[in-house]
Amino acid sequence: MLERKLLNGRTEVTFVLPADTPPGPVSVVGDFNDWQPGIHALVPRKDGKRAVTVALPSSGTHSFRYLAAGDYWFNDDSAGDREGTNSRLHT
């Protein structure tokens, strides 16, 4: 699930996943972090889910995927758009 918040020429996007699906550590990787795993690792929230917030320029399109333990790559169906094997996010 994606949560968006508009702030002064940028969009804060929070990437949210259930606490245990998939199990183990998960990070969001995309063109906004040069596809580097671990830079934006999801952390537990008080509501029992895991999340990480990334500030992105407004009026852009970004490709991303999630990377979980065991080299398990997956998409975010709530993004609503895809480019090849990647989810796409419009800010």
Degrees to nearest 5, angle at CA 72 with 21 and 66: 70
Residue 81, domain CATH:
2.60.40.10
Where in the sequence is the domain holding 6, given as residue range(s)?
2-90
**Whole-angstrom Cα distance, residue 28 to residue 30?**
7
Cis bond upstream, residue 22 (ω within 30): yes
* pLDDT tens, position by position, 61-91: 999 999 999 999 999 988 878 888 999 998 8
Is pTM beyond 0.85 here? yes
Residue 30 confidence class, pLDDT cut points 50, 70, 90: very high
Quote the number of domains for the chain.
Answer: 1
